[in-house]
Amino acid sequence: MSLYTYKASWEIDTHDYPFYALVMAAMRRADTDNLALLQKAFPLTWAELQERYNAPGGLLRGEKSPTS
């Protein structure tokens, strides 16, 4: 880990993002090996990320947009 990485983690923490949003973001950014580890640790989160990625606007069946 570098000082830059440490400070970036502090900056991210100040935004108070939900935990699973951070996990999904990590999955989006991960290299092949780290993605495999994340998929194994959070299989349901990976499945939801894939489902929402392939759904129009990220909305799953029966969901409505929070802006509508």
DSSP 8-class letter at 30 = -
Nearest Cα to 24, choosing from 52, 2, 55?
52
Say what the pTM is: 0.85
Confidence of residue 64 (pLDDT cuts 50, 70, 90): confident
Q: How confident is the model at residue 67 (pLDDT cuts 50, 70, 90)?
A: confident
- 5-51 tens-digit pLDDT: 999 999 999 999 999 999 999 999 999 999 999 999 999 999 999 99
pLDDT at 65: 85
Do 59 and 65 form a contact (C-beta atoms < 8 A)? yes
pLDDT at 68: 59
The SS3 assignment for 57 reads helix
